[in-house]
Amino acid sequence: MRQPRSIANRLALLFFAITLGAMAIVYAGVVPRLESSLTNQRTGQLAADAQRLRSGIEKKLAEAAPVGQIDLAVREAADEANARVTLIGVGNSGKGTAPFVKSDSDLRSSIENLVFPAALQAIGSGRTATAVESVASGRVAEAALPLFSKDPETGRRVLGDVLVFSAPLGSVERNVTLVRNRILLAAVIALILALIAGYLVALSFGRRVSRLEETARQVAQGDRSAHFTVDNDDELGRLAAALDAMQTQLSELDSARRRFIATASHELRTPIFSLSGFVELLEDEELDEETRLRFLGQLRQGVARLEKLTTDLLDLSRIDAGAVELERERTDIGKLATDVANEFVPALTEHDSQLEVRVGAKALYASCDRERLSQVVRILVDNAVAHTPKGTDVIVATSQRENLARIAVTDFGEGIPRADLERAFEPFYTSDGTRGAGLGLAIARELVERMGGTLSVESAPGRTTFALELPS
């Protein structure tokens, strides 16, 4: 259970990290932009107010009005703009060329100890300038407007004064702080929800992984009845389905393996016990020569049967393991069928039967492994001879159907029961208890399928046909 929890924790932390990163991006993108926008908006408003309210002050300066009237005009402009208005002189006035305060709307204002950087910029450029400066009480926005007059001596237009509108940015900072706090609050809530949601999702994922792990452990311990639960059509669900299909196949293979081992052990044990019995009988010194020779013949037959069974078992195991290498070549199947049939002439003579080969006049070719195809035909002919009464003929015929080359082996025995047709190619299956271990047809089908063909059977009382088809 530790691993699913670990996965859940990691996924939950991933959700948390993604949400935290997203909120950090939002914060970094919103708060500084908002602060800059509100600050620019305030300084722009101050500059607009300075342009709008300059005329009254300029008029008083042009009339050389008394200081009291100028101060009154400055205070009126300050009241209308809701800002501090400072008139800074630039001319000599007995103070050299250094700027000096000519009038201030409120010297007792909370805005103190200002150095008016905007005014210095306006003096230097001769244009309206804005700036923000920081004082002990906070940040202050400034807009400075240069005022020009005509020099009486030269008649030239000269910079005489600078009108400065300034206002604290407390409202901007409060708005920014409000937005910042709301973003932080939203971020905290989002992070908590992300952590909870991520953990719940991850926990559900972890439980599903845990079930897969537990089922896999059961399978590894040999429980072939265990099944993987398919609870959804997502990646984990499809994985569970694939694992369950694999488990089903493994169970079938294991059952087949157990049956194979049990049957093979039985098939091997029977001739071995028989051979052991004959050996004990042959050790009897009182046996007459005729009986001894008869026992030796039976012993020889038992050895041959055991040898064939062992060879078939090895062939089948090699085929199942994929260790059989096939060499494809263009093969004349008519000639191959004739050559294989000729090998059975002595056996058919003893069986009082005849083997008829029906091959067309035109050569028929197939792409296959010649040696393995010969092995298959031998198995089919041998099976036909073994399952037919004496005096019953066997027919081997070749034909072509579309792009397939066909070899059919027909016998006229009792046939295979309809219920057993599908089992005819199972290892160790025999329909009538005849000789052999029932491996030949299983080997034949595996070889044919590995050559890209098919092997089928049709049977009725008095007639059975095994037909193989290969790409021509």
Q: Return the beta strands (E) in 389-430 as ranges.
A: 394-401, 404-411
Largest interatomic CA distance in the chain: 165
Report strand pairing: 404-411 vs 394-401. Answer: antiparallel
pTM over 0.95: no
Alpha carbon 448 to its chain centroid, in Å, reads 37
Cα–Cα dist 454/41, whole Å:
86
First-to-final CA distance of the chain:
58
Question: Residue 32: helix, strand or coil by DSSP?
Answer: helix
Which residues on neighbouring strands pair with residue 127, listed in sequence order?
none
Question: Residue 160: helix, strand or coil by DSSP?
Answer: strand
Give the pLDDT confidence score for residue 322 in this predicted structure.
62
CA atoms lying within 13 Å on the CB side of residue 400: 15
Give the pLDDT confidence score for residue 94 in this predicted structure.
40
Q: Return the beta strands (E) in 90-154 as ranges.
A: 100-104, 129-135, 138-150
Neighbours of 286 (CB within 10 A): 5
Report strand pairing: 355-358 vs 394-401. Answer: parallel
CB 424 within 8 A of CB 469: no
Tokens of 43: 């300084």
Tokens of 104: 């201030």
CB 293 within 8 A of CB 335: no
Question: Residue 328: helix, strand or coil by DSSP?
Answer: coil
Give the pLDDT confidence score for residue 468 in this predicted structure.
93
List domains and CATH numbers for the chain. 2-176 (3.30.450.20), 235-320 (1.10.287.130), 329-471 (3.30.565.10)
From first to last of its 472 residues, what are the pLDDT tens digits of the chain? 344 456 667 777 777 788 788 878 877 878 888 888 888 888 899 989 988 988 888 888 888 888 888 889 888 888 898 888 989 888 654 444 567 788 888 754 444 577 888 888 888 888 889 998 888 778 899 999 998 877 667 767 778 889 999 888 888 888 888 888 888 888 888 878 877 877 777 777 777 777 777 777 877 777 767 777 766 777 777 777 777 777 777 776 666 666 666 656 655 665 676 667 667 767 766 677 777 777 777 777 667 666 766 776 676 666 666 667 788 899 999 999 999 988 888 877 877 888 889 988 788 999 898 988 998 998 899 888 887 788 888 999 999 888 899 999 999 888 888 877 877 887 766 655 444 456 788 888 888 988 899 999 998 888 899 999 999 8
Give the pLDDT confidence score for residue 109 in this predicted structure.
47
